[in-house]
Amino acid sequence: MMKKLLRFSLVFAVLASLALLNGCGPKDSGQKPAVEKPLVQAPPFSADSAFQFVKDQVGFGPRIPNSPAHRKAGDYMIEQLKKFGATVTVQAFEATTYDGQRLALRNIIGSYFPERQKRILLAAHWDTRPFADKDENPAAKFDGANDGASGVAVLLEMARALQAGQPPAVGVDIIFFDGEDWGHDTETWDKIGKGKPANFPLPPGLDSWWCLGSQHWSKNKHKPNYSAYYGILLDMVGAKNSHFFKEGVSMQYAPAVTNKIWKTASQLGYSSLFVNREVAGITDDHVFVNEIGKIPMVDIVHYDPALGFFGDYHHRTKDNLELISPETLEAVGRVLLAVIYSEE
């Protein structure tokens, strides 16, 4: 996952003027307080199954584009989605990286209830960054257990739940974006010993060196005129002691959906995990789905108040299976299932 701050959240609460009470106490408006709508019963989410999906991905090795591990992991995801009853579309494409490499990439899409007009889009990236540029050995490879595999694992377990349980009232599309994490910054270029590029402009049709898969899909959707009611992106959602804050770009483009997710989390008892506080925005796949794809999308991503976005494992070799908490995966999955099954 690319990790540069994009902008500070533009959404702030505006205080309304207080009406003069002329020394009188508040009057009864005659309106009854709103009754909170109970959560709809959603299919169960298995923490053990989700953890196994992380373990399976890590078992292939770092999922670096153009590597055998990347190819095997992609084939595995296609197989799992088909196994769980999804209609699968593979969007193959090529992209050039900041260091001039040509990558063979695949966005993998699994669709449920394709006949339904109202649709919810769920997404995560499945590739691994090709070097641990924040590590003591910045050229090392790392597993990407949280940065990539955790989001995919939650969505694969949701796919299993969608097949096994009663269908929701909406259609669901799951997209695994490729090529998210090969982005460029000057500091990384220096650390891996390539020296600073004098001038390396973006090629035509590319808006960022990050998020190659979501850029491609947003400009070339897998179905003509495809749209969704809203989308939810998962990125680094499996670490122990995770916290998810309301990310700035999500609040800019999809505030109602963001608030709904965090409210649902609170109703399920996860308010300490889904913290009801806004933070800055980042460049992630949801930026391009929002701005190019024109679908309001929320990013659920780990935020550490002491460090900012991500954790001390980010782009380091410690991003391995020992970092992953089945309980965190379960909490995220249960919240998303509850959100989807509340749609009418």
Q: Tens of pLDDT along the chain (344 residues)?
A: 544 444 333 333 333 333 333 333 333 444 444 456 677 789 999 999 999 999 999 999 999 999 999 999 999 999 999 999 999 999 999 999 988 889 999 999 999 999 999 999 999 999 999 999 999 999 899 999 999 999 999 999 999 999 998 999 999 999 999 999 999 765 666 666 665 554 567 888 899 999 999 999 999 999 999 999 999 999 999 999 999 999 999 999 999 999 999 999 999 999 999 999 999 999 999 999 999 999 999 999 999 988 888 989 999 999 999 999 999 999 999 999 999 999 99
> Given this model, what pLDDT does residue 36 score?
63
What is the separation of C-alpha 169 from the centre of its chain, rounded to a whole number of angstroms? Answer: 23
> Given this model, what pLDDT does residue 193 score?
63
**Integer Cα distance of 55 and 67 in angstroms:** 19
Measured in degrees and rounded to the nearest 5, phi and psi for residue 21 equal: -95, -5
- Residue 31's SS3 state is coil
The predicted model scores a pTM of 0.88
> Given this model, what pLDDT does residue 202 score?
84
**Enclosing H/E stretch for 281:** strand 281-282
Output the CATH code of domain 41-341.
3.40.630.10
Checking 217-225 for CB contacts under 8 A at 24+ apart, the result is 217/91, 217/107, 217/175, 217/177, 217/289, 217/293, 218/288, 218/289, 218/291, 218/292, 218/293, 219/292, 220/91, 220/93, 221/293, 222/89, 222/91, 222/107, 222/109, 223/89
Dihedral class, residue 202 (left if φ above 0, else alpha if ψ from -120 to 50, else beta):
beta
**Enclosing H/E stretch for 89:** strand 87-96
> Given this model, what pLDDT does residue 188 score?
65
> Given this model, what pLDDT does residue 205 score?
87
> Given this model, what pLDDT does residue 40 score?
75
> Given this model, what pLDDT does residue 302 score?
96
> Given this model, what pLDDT does residue 198 score?
46
> Given this model, what pLDDT does residue 190 score?
64
> Given this model, what pLDDT does residue 103 score?
97
Q: Are 268 and 40 in contact, with CB atoms under 8 Å apart? A: no
| CB-based burial label for 75 (10 Å; 0-12, 13-18, 19+) | middle
